[in-house]
A and B are shown apart, each in its own frame.
Chain A
């Protein structure tokens, strides 16, 4: 069977060399990462379509960069934080951050923003839309023309499915004087993009940002030197 599918694909490509699957004939919002855009069917996140990203690490970093790239390009980007997980310490100006009070509110927010037509990229994170809700979102995104990316495990209605994970062996550490890991400096993210007739993957090396951990200078507390067991 795989052989026959491959043969059929080769035959179609031979007969219609310039043909593109319908899902690929869209304009796209570039993520700003050349290596990622290269593996996406239309060179970016498709406009007017739903993209679903199943993340085991790395998606937030990449999509935040994509939001900033969208703003840099003169369009608006919005991030709907359904779980309140976006840390204010690391949030940059540019994209509009919305923190609805509940998943239902987050879905309504997404629908409203998508229909407004004022956004190039909308990211919906922290909730799992049900199938009926996903249908509504796909209609809204088609109406407004934005690129919608949901960070969820449900991918059945998406025209582009993305999956990412951090490779456990891909961390690069700065070592402490004893040779143990001190600070993780960068990680390797494996990203796979799938669409009808499309399957591509890449590895992205991404630095790790660390917040400033302010240590107390109070000498009176016993735990300053750690607690022996």
Chain B
């Protein structure tokens, strides 16, 4: 049996009594709750219900609650009916396991807590007891009585899906320090206090085998305001060193309205530690954690600097690549040995290196058939001779955005570097766009 329900007609008008009584029952069961109708629920799941009920009855007796009825059943609905509508002369009604539906069946549908409108409808249809309702098909009930009818149909079959006992959220680690005799204005002392609090919180996390994804620093000010600063980590961590580095960065930027009278450091979001399965022959596996941590630290410090290219089909090379930020864990995984295993060593190729922005140059040209080709150009470093030059490769477009028309040339500079220059055919100006390296 799982649910124990306590009820007395007195509690309908005096719900406060039930609320006062509930804490006393925590000596008997791990969880106790009350509902809007003044019932007390005790969670006896996993316990010997006979002993639990005996203990509860004893508590009632001690507190002078002599008219309390107790119902115990596998389902909340049966326990509720047992307490409210069971035998009047019996203090405790046990519903035998597996007989909840049978126990509920002879009772009037009114015990299910239907609305007056639905009760009228049920009465008009000739459904008087829970058993009458339970015998119908779900589809028929849904068509005739709607959503509420289906809910009652489930209850009438002792199929109770209500969550009587909600999950109790676990308290996250935190540490605080308040002082009343003086106010704090010295940043170094503040860091000292935060460091001590961080030590306590990280130790608590270590003991639980967890890491913090987000923490909050709450500074209580002398003007009774609070200054709350949240720090989110790229990679969940319980490292005090990492926390302090981030918190120092926050403190460097913050301006407070008054002196500090208290500090609270609390964990806002936690994550369990991940222990991935490793490959014995993976040379990079042993250092994967350290690598991931280093990359996460860089992102925390500098923002998104881990990038991978996403290529598009844009005709202009400088617009063809979109850089997308990557997570350290994903990159470490992809850059591990699994990526390279079995791949043939790559041969080097001279590839095009682009300038961040095309730089204007002065060009001397000579005529070749129907076009001009560059033979010398001058940039910030001076004049450069171009030996062999190929081109032009012409590209144009951008009617609906920003029109462009370019004639690209590749030329070998006197120092051997193959450069990529183009003439903007719309404006007649020349630019150097990149080089092969």
Structural contact, B352 and A59, CB atoms closer than 8 A: no
Chain B residues numbered 381-402 whose CB sits less than 8 Å from any CB in chain A: 387-390, 392-397, 399
Least CB distance from B185 to A in Å reads 31
Known: A58-B350, A76-B335. A100 touches B305 (CB 8 A): yes
Least CB distance from A123 to B in Å reads 13
A194 CB within 8 Å of chain B: no
Residues of A within 8 A of B297 (CB): 112
A181 CB within 8 Å of chain B: yes
B283 CB within 8 Å of chain A: yes
Structural contact, A109 and B370, CB atoms closer than 8 A: no
Known: A105-B305, A181-B388, A214-B315. A206 touches B417 (CB 8 A): no
Given the complex of chains A and B, what is the CA–CA distance between A56 and B414 in angstroms?
A: 11
Chain A residues numbered 164-212 whose CB sits less than 8 Å from any CB in chain B: 165-168, 170-171, 173, 176, 178, 180-184, 187, 204, 206-211
Residue among B294, B297, B347, B417 with most chain A CB within 10 A: B294
A136 CB within 8 Å of chain B: no
Chain B residues numbered 270-289 whose CB sits less than 8 Å from any CB in chain A: 281-284, 287-288
Closest A residue to B336 by CB, please name it.
A76
Residues of A within 8 A of B399 (CB): 218
CB contact between B309 and one of A61, A74, A91, A118 (< 8 Å): that residue: A91
Residues of A within 8 A of B352 (CB): 87, 89-90, 209-211
Closest B residue to A206 by CB, please name it.
B348
B334 CB within 8 Å of chain A: yes
Closest A residue to B418 by CB, please name it.
A184
Structural contact, A94 and B335, CB atoms closer than 8 A: yes
Least CB distance from A139 to B in Å reads 16
CB contact between B437 and one of A60, A71, A96 (< 8 Å): that residue: A60
Structural contact, B425 and A227, CB atoms closer than 8 A: yes
Given the complex of chains A and B, what is the CA–CA distance between A160 and B310 in angstroms?
A: 36
CB contact between A206 and one of B302, B350, B394, B408 (< 8 Å): that residue: B350
Structural contact, A216 and B340, CB atoms closer than 8 A: no
Given the complex of chains A and B, what is the CA–CA distance between A229 and B369 in angstroms?
A: 11
CB contact between B371 and one of A72, A115, A221, A226 (< 8 Å): that residue: A226
Residue among A72, A108, A115, A176 with most chain B CB within 10 A: A72
B-contacting 9-mer, from A12-20, A41-49, A62-70 = A62-70
Given the complex of chains A and B, what is the CA–CA distance between A94 and B345 in angstroms?
A: 12
Chain B residues numbered 330-385 whose CB sits less than 8 Å from any CB in chain A: 331-332, 334-337, 339-341, 343-356, 365, 367-372
Given the complex of chains A and B, what is the CA–CA distance between A68 and B322 in angstroms?
A: 22
A interface footprint on B404-427 (CB within 8 Å = 1, 0 otherwise) = 010110101111111000000110
Structural contact, B320 and A88, CB atoms closer than 8 A: yes
Structural contact, B350 and A209, CB atoms closer than 8 A: yes
Total B residues in contact with A, Cβ cutoff 8 Å:
88
Least CB distance from B245 to A in Å reads 12
Chain B residues numbered 254-307 whose CB sits less than 8 Å from any CB in chain A: 281-284, 287-288, 290-291, 293-295, 297-298, 301-303, 305-307
Given the complex of chains A and B, what is the CA–CA distance between A195 and B297 in angstroms?
A: 35
B interface footprint on A29-65 (CB within 8 Å = 1, 0 otherwise) = 0001100000000000000000000011111111011
B66 CB within 8 Å of chain A: no
A97 CB within 8 Å of chain B: yes
Given the complex of chains A and B, what is the CA–CA distance between A59 and B416 in angstroms?
A: 13
Least CB distance from B297 to A in Å reads 6
B321 CB within 8 Å of chain A: yes
Given the complex of chains A and B, what is the CA–CA distance between A208 and B418 in angstroms?
A: 10
A142 CB within 8 Å of chain B: no
Structural contact, B389 and A181, CB atoms closer than 8 A: yes
A interface footprint on B17-60 (CB within 8 Å = 1, 0 otherwise) = 00000000000000000000000000000000000000000000
Structural contact, A89 and B320, CB atoms closer than 8 A: yes
Structural contact, A72 and B405, CB atoms closer than 8 A: no
B317 CB within 8 Å of chain A: yes
B165 CB within 8 Å of chain A: no
A92 CB within 8 Å of chain B: yes
CB contact between B302 and one of A108, A213, A216 (< 8 Å): that residue: A108
B12 CB within 8 Å of chain A: no
Residues of B within 8 A of A95 (CB): 335
B85 CB within 8 Å of chain A: no
Residues of A within 8 A of B306 (CB): 96-98
Known: A96-B295, A117-B290. A216 touches B356 (CB 8 A): no
B-contacting 9-mer, from A3-11, A78-86, A127-135 = A78-86
Least CB distance from B126 to A in Å reads 72
Given the complex of chains A and B, what is the CA–CA distance between A182 and B410 in angstroms?
A: 9
Structural contact, A168 and B414, CB atoms closer than 8 A: yes
Known: A187-B418, A206-B349. A87 touches B305 (CB 8 A): no
Given the complex of chains A and B, what is the CA–CA distance between A188 and B277 in angstroms?
A: 45
Residues of B within 8 A of A56 (CB): 415-417
Identify the 10 closest CB pairs spanning chains A and B, nearest first: A88-B309, A88-B321, A118-B291, A116-B294, A74-B337, A166-B416, A223-B425, A72-B340, A118-B287, A65-B348
20 new A-B contacts, CB < 8 A, other than A96-B331, A223-B396, are A32-B346, A60-B351, A61-B351, A64-B346, A65-B347, A71-B337, A72-B346, A75-B283, A89-B311, A94-B334, A94-B340, A109-B298, A113-B298, A180-B368, A184-B418, A187-B436, A211-B352, A226-B370, A226-B394, A229-B372
The 22 listed contacts between A and B (C-beta, < 8 Å) are A56-B415, A60-B353, A61-B437, A68-B340, A68-B346, A72-B346, A76-B332, A84-B356, A88-B320, A94-B339, A98-B307, A115-B294, A116-B287, A118-B284, A118-B287, A119-B291, A168-B413, A171-B388, A216-B397, A224-B394, A227-B371, A229-B372
Name A's B-contacting residues (CB within 8 A): 32-33, 55-62, 64-65, 68-69, 71-77, 83-101, 105, 108-109, 112-113, 115-119, 165-168, 170-171, 173, 176, 178, 180-184, 187, 204, 206-211, 213-216, 218, 221, 223-229
